[in-house]
Amino acid sequence: MPKAVLLDIDGTLVASNDAHARAWAEALQQFGFTVPETQIRRWIGMGGDKILPRVDPNLSDGTEPGKSITQLRQDLFLERYLPHLKPTPGAVELLDRFAGDGLLRVAATSANKTELDAIADVSGLARYLDARTTSDDADRSKPDADIIEAALSKAKVDRTQSFYLGDTPYDVEAAHRAKLPIIALRCGGWTQAELAAAEAVFDTPADILADYERALRTVGSQR
């Protein structure tokens, strides 16, 4: 049985991927960059350090206008979309089961601290998180493994007794770069084929809960 679960938040435990895509599209549009929301949706799961250069190779979250685009996107997300966010089906119940079984629960997300704290509070998930790691703790967002490595270090978690829970191919790649098995969820909008490299794939957290013992055996057996 694993002793810790590292948690992606957006799309995995909170139905927020569409909201992030809309906020990005609106912010970019205000700075003269027209990118279809459907295209941006495919990039959600990475941080701004990865998304902005895909819009324009000259854009960076460390220089203007990338810094201002990033700040506007966050403002739009927090003001327009955050109040309407809900947990994905079974997210609260699954975290409660993890807690009851004594698993350490560590957030490892490409969101920054401000966004993670706000999302965790509005969704009711805050009380289930033992530790939180965000893009503020890492140089590079997913699919690089920096955030996961930072989470392992911050929470003093042994990777051989841990697994990751995510919803995008970027989560799968980051987990495997960090040598962690991963359970992937389709509720974030990605297909079975796109998540096929994960050790296990389920539709929602509720589906993990319905087949809980097998799900944890799957990630535990990868050791």
pLDDT along the chain (223 residues), means of 10: 96 98 99 98 96 98 97 98 98 98 97 96 98 95 97 94 98 98 98 98 99 95 59
The reply to whether 101 and 122 lie within a common domain is: yes
Look up the CATH number of the domain holding residue 189.
Answer: 3.40.50.1000
Peptide bond into 143 cis (omega under 30): yes
- Are 42 and 117 in a shared domain? no
Query: What is the structure's pLDDT at 1?
Result: 86
Does residue 35 share a domain with residue 134?
no
Tell me, yes or no, whether 160 and 90 share the same domain.
Answer: yes
Domain boundary among 34, 58, 83: 83
End position of a domain, from candidates 83, 107, 138: 83
Give Cα 155 to chain centroid, integer Å.
Answer: 17
Residue 75 shares a structural domain with residue 132: no
User: Domain check: are 118 and 199 in the same one?
Assistant: yes
Q: What would the two tokens of residue 45 be?
A: 């799961």
From 55, 83, 111, the end of a domain falls on: 83
Residue ranges making up the domain that contains 27: 17-83
Are 46 and 107 members of one domain?
A: no
If asked whether residues 57 and 127 sit together in one domain, one would say no
pTM above the 0.85 mark? yes
- Smallest CA-to-CA distance from 116 within 147, 155, 145 is with 147
Q: Please give the pLDDT value at position 220.
A: 85
Among 13, 8, 4, 5, which residue's Cα sits nearest to residue 141? 8
Predicted local distance difference test score (pLDDT) of residue 17: 98
Are 54 and 8 in the same domain? no
Together in a domain, 112 and 35: no
Residues 106 and 64 in one domain: no
Q: So what's the pLDDT on residue 31?
A: 98
CA–CA distance from 103 to each of 85, 100, 158, 181 (Å)?
26, 8, 12, 15
Number of domain units in the chain: 2
Q: Tell me: do 10 and 27 sit in the same domain.
A: no
CA 170 to chain centre: 9
